[in-house]
Amino acid sequence: MQTSSVERIEALTSKGLWTGETLCGCLSIQARERPEQLAVVDQPDRAEWSDGVARRLTFRQLEHSSDAMLLDLLDRGVRHGDRVMIQSPNVVELVVLYFALSKLGAVASPLPVQYGSHEISMLSNALNATWFVGLYAFRGANLAANGLFAVDSQHTIALGEDIGLRATDGLAPEEFERLTLYKIAHPVDANDIYSICWTSGTTGTPKGVPRSHNMWMASAHVTAVGSNYVPGDVLLNPFPMVNMSALGGFLFPAVRVGCTLVLHHPIDVAVYLSQIQSETVDFTIAPPALLNRLAKQPALWNSFSFPKLRAIDPDRRRLRLT
């Protein structure tokens, strides 16, 4: 599915603003150039609100695990061009899913975890959703069950149960051959719509915003330049990885530049500060309300050490620390 006209594609490509890069293509580059660098990291208290231990994947492991998840999605019946609604908190599996859908050529449409039957039904009808993927264990609930408000039971997938992390060390030969044949038959086009995110402001009705790989990568380039991202940086994202700010500010530029993405959410001040310290974070963002709280708790802030942190961006406006 493409929404940009041929004329627009040609104009932006000729100016060098659209480069033909894709999310999965950038991952392949990083897996080749810095295979052992950490790519994505769970927050340390994950086990308190979801099953499983906190996970850490290198770029090589992220490449392999997203290859495996692509095949698992195919086995479930997901196909190129399908529209896949997603409901999950910030966990490593969600990041793997984003790359798997990129390789598959499906459209990712993520939803906030707080959305219930009304919102899901309304947005599913607007999207004409094909599939629903939800994390199977989040605070005692199986979010995949919410898929019944979007699609039939045969088209719901429990992330972490029906599909999950596997083959982080590489595919078996027969699976690798199958993957290769699929990629040949379904090449990923940077002008294809990769995602439809939902935005509503404060009180409005959510509206779907389609974006292609080229659109996302142009935004990623501007973000990386404006925030001074360099290869090897460690980025801490405390915002839900279902909105455009988190995807455009962290997921896409991190894989484009070669940065480590550390996950956090919902905001827990002590955990957030401990992650900045323990993961030696270079860059993060924080809502002004959190920064105001920290300003009133200097003892808490000063109980941690931040040797590499160069900036905190309150709503994308950088607070310089050096």
Strand duo 107-111 + 83-87: pairing: parallel
The predicted structure's pLDDT at residue 203:
65
| pLDDT < 50 stretches in the chain | 317-322
The predicted structure's pLDDT at residue 52:
80
Q: The tokens of 299 are what?
A: 């003892």
Q: The tokens of 151 are what?
A: 């699609």
pLDDT digits (tens, 9 = 90+) for 37-90: 999 999 999 999 998 889 999 999 999 999 999 999 999 999 999 999 999 999
pLDDT digits (tens, 9 = 90+) for 284-299: 998 887 788 788 888 8
What angle, 0 to 180 degrees and rounded to 10, lies between the N-to-C axes of helices 6-14 and 213-226? 30
Q: The tokens of 258 are what?
A: 């070669």
* Rounded distance between C-alpha atoms, residue 236 and residue 225, angstroms: 17
Cβ atoms of residues 136 and 52 within 8 Å: no
To the question of pTM greater than 0.85 for the whole model, the response is yes
Closest CA to 195 of 113, 106, 119: 106
Say which residues have a Cβ less than 8 Å from residue 160's Cβ, sequence separation at least 6: 50, 51, 52, 91, 93, 135, 136, 137
